[in-house]
Amino acid sequence: MGTSPTPGDRDGSRDLDAASSEPLHPAARAVLLDALDRGYADPRRLHRQGRSARLLLDNAREVVAESLKVRPDEVSFTGSGTEAVHRGLLGLLQGAQRHGRAVVLPAVEHSAVRHALAWAQAETREVGVDAVGRVDPASMRAAAAAGPPAVVAAVQAANHEVGTVQPVAEVVEAVGLPVFMDACAAAGRLPLPEGWAAAAASAHKWGGPPGIGVLLVRKGARWRQPFPGDDRVDERVAGFENVPGALAAAAALQAVVAESTGTAARQHALIARVREQIAATVPDVEIVGDPEARLPHLVTFSCLYVDGEALVTELDRHGLGVASGSACAASTLTPSHVLTAMGALTHGNVRLSLTRETTTADVERFLAVLPGVVTELRARVGMA
């Protein structure tokens, strides 16, 4: 990033909230502009423009499949990662409906999973996690077998809020059920584990355009359409496909996967530096999540005697854009269910996540500003 502000940072501020949305990758920008001219038509049509759009859509599917190590016919494009979560999970539940409606899942799953199950009126069996947010496969197996056997399991590839990687392959082996995997936080950053039946990803998390999700359904999985069908190219989704968006998402994914080894190593080291320095310079702080087996770009910590939203606001005044995990449910004034399940401090919570453009200087600036901001906020409430 150097001394010249990047697009989106023209005032010199720094976006440290890549877990919410990564800036558009240059590869996606170039492809998107070109595809807007060549991929506007309905890919179902047989005329030249329709065939061109279909070719671009098929190309996007093949690139995503190669990047994520799946088959092209296992890839579908949706309107968001949330929609992909809903379709993937509820499709597995629909496919197993003759055998029951019980789903077993860790207590730290994304709210999109929880909302989908509530909408479907499924029997939900949440399994507790350890102090770093990891679920025990044996506990998942026990919950699946308790009472009427569960028919589907759900587990994240890595937690969106604290970064902890989940033992997906071990859960698959333990429960012996079709497993839905929410890979929205991990796709493009970590290799996907094996064994799941359906999965979801979100393009804007890896630098693709917003409004593009990816639904993955393994060949042979017992997945059934959970929503009204459509006569589109892809029977797993509905509505006119966003062909330019899908192609741009594929281009960004291909680029970040090619860069992932070097980017992950650099970001992992920067986050290790953040974890070490915060513990050394900020009193009464709790750093959550696994220190090693985690997403490379993300760290979450909580400061005692500090309001999380106030901390985010003050850091933003210093030109540092971060998120508050405890503020993800701010509209209902409820703490983060992820931190609650971990038994972690839920107040004064900050999630910092590095973009691909974040430099060492940006991280050091954050580390220099944070202690003073925390001290000031504590002084305001008489806790200097």
The three-state secondary structure class of 17 is: strand
- Is there a catalytic annotation at residue 303? no
CB within 8 Å of 293: residues ≥ 6 apart:
134, 164, 165
How big is the chain by its Cα radius of gyration, in Å? 21
The phi and psi torsions of 206 (rounded to 5 degrees) equal: -115, 10
Q: What is d(CA 115, CA 92) in angstroms, rounded to the nearest whole number? A: 16
The single residue of 93, 174, 328, 377 carrying the catalytic annotation is: 328
| Cβ neighbours of residue 111 closer than 8 Å, sequence gap 6 or more | 328, 329, 337
Beta carbons within 8 Å of 341's beta carbon, 6+ residues apart: 106, 107, 108, 128, 129, 133
Tokens encoding 106 = 């860790």
Running DSSP on this structure, what letter comes out for residue 305? T
Strand pairing category for 152-156 and 213-217: unpaired
CA neighbor of 206 nearest in space, from 190, 193, 189, 183: 189
What is the per-residue burial (b if ≥16 Cβ within 10 Å, else e) of 268-304? bebbeebbebbeeebeebbbbbbeeebbbbbbbbbbe
Which are the catalytic amino acids? Answer: 328
